[in-house]
Amino acid sequence: MNNIFIPKEIIIGFQNRNGTYTGKLAYVIYKDENGKLRKEQSWNSWRDKNIEPLIYKNTPMSGFVLNKKIGGYNTGWNHRQTYVRIYDSRGFEFEITVENLLYILENTSSIKGKGLEGEFVYGWDGKDLILIPISSPDYKEITEFNKILHNKQIIKAKDLIIGATYRTKQNQTFIYIGKFDYYSLYGKKCTGKYHWFYNVERDDFEQFRSVLNKLISIIDSDCHENYADIFHKMEGSYFYSPIDESKNEYIEYSLEEFKEKMKDDKTCWGIEFYANREKVRIYSDGRIKYLKGRSTLYTYGYREEKYNNLEELYNKIRPQYLNTYLLNGRLYREGK
């Protein structure tokens, strides 16, 4: 929840609606950190343009009251997600998700006749409006993240430090590795130099041709203690170093290894091997399919034979597995 955006202002459009305290239902939107009005098109198409929109500062305030549940039905193609209506004491009513309500009730109370206890601010989790109790343990971290976001610190490519740790606009932690070639299409095509980062939360790599509007702050300018390990992991990616088929290594199974491998074919779907560097699929029911030039998933056009026992088949085809290597010499996949 710590990548929630808290705008400085909220903009409210209205529709006349029965079942609300004031006879009007609100659609609340906001401007992002760059001043862009989010969800403007859907907001304009939804609101009654005869009712003047309102703009308020998004500062902590109290006086929110639960009204009722809306939606939660499914009639064929027409599905309406469940929402809960909340009354804002400034005179309008809006909707939040049930998940948001549960989060609110985990961190504060709803008092009959008085409403939700404590102060709240409006925030957005992606496209969803949420009401955030300032008493929640997440609020401090959310506001610290938003303070950095609103400061609009610009980190350019020339400012990047190898091994330094950065905060992204999505409140993720990135470690900068450097600028290297990036190979797409399973390591077949070089698309040029990209900035490589290690995403700490995802334990994966992300690459950008430009870092403009990607990073909002530097967390630590010192080289991360795990930088060498991260770099080593990156070297094993085919996005960094392409697969080099000239390094393909076909290794013969021993008879014992082959028999043990075939025990995995309990449902007779077959197990893939190589024979004379060509793919074959061997089935425990006494069949072998030669798949030269064919996908192992779509085996039409194959040549099929029968075999009597595994030892006889082993001596005939000498089954192999394939080890695949990257251009830099790193083992990419062991086929055993």
pLDDT band at 71 (very low <50, low <70, confident <90, very high): low
Q: Of 121, 231, 253, whose CA–CA distance to 180 is shortest?
A: 231
| pLDDT tens, position by position, 44-63 | 999 999 999 999 999 999 99
Quote the pLDDT of residue 266: 82
pLDDT band at 75 (very low <50, low <70, confident <90, very high): very low
Taking the C-alpha atoms of residue 177 and residue 171, their distance in angstroms, rounded to an integer, is 19
Quote the pLDDT of residue 334: 94
Quote the pLDDT of residue 221: 97
Quote the pLDDT of residue 1: 59
pLDDT of 149 > 90? The answer is no
Q: What is the mean pLDDT of residues 280-298?
A: 78
pLDDT of 26 > 80? The answer is yes
Number of neighbouring beta carbons within 10 Å of residue 229:
11
Mean of pLDDT over the chain: 90
Residue 42 three-state SS: helix
Percent of the chain with pLDDT over 90: 77
Q: Of 287, 254, 271, whose CA–CA distance to 279 is shortest?
A: 271
pLDDT of 321 > 50? The answer is yes
β-strands 287-290, 303-306: how paired? Answer: antiparallel
| pLDDT tens, position by position, 196-220 | 999 999 999 999 999 998 999 999 9
pLDDT band at 80 (very low <50, low <70, confident <90, very high): low
**283 backbone φψ class: left, alpha, beta (φ>0; ψ -120 to 50):** beta
pLDDT of 223 > 90? The answer is yes
Segment among 114-118, 186-190, 209-213 with least mean pLDDT: 186-190
Query: CA 255, 260, 264, 268: dihedral to nearest 10 degrees?
Result: 40
Quote the pLDDT of residue 79: 43
Q: Which amino acid is at 247?
A: K
Write out the two tokens for 326: 């990257």
Selected residue with higher pLDDT from 297 and 285: 285
Q: What is the mean pLDDT of residues 2-15?
A: 93
User: Taking a C-beta distance cutoff of 8 angstroms, is the pair 13, 47 a contact?
Assistant: yes
| pLDDT tens, position by position, 325-334 | 999 999 999 9
pLDDT of 241 > 80? The answer is yes
Q: What is the mean pLDDT of residues 101-127?
A: 91
Q: What is the mean pLDDT of residues 127-155?
A: 92
Taking the C-alpha atoms of residue 155 and residue 165, their distance in angstroms, rounded to an integer, is 12
Q: Of 131, 136, 157, whose CA–CA distance to 65 is shortest?
A: 131
| pLDDT tens, position by position, 88-100 | 999 999 999 999 9
pLDDT of 254 > 90? The answer is yes
Quote the pLDDT of residue 73: 44
pTM, two decimals, is 0.75
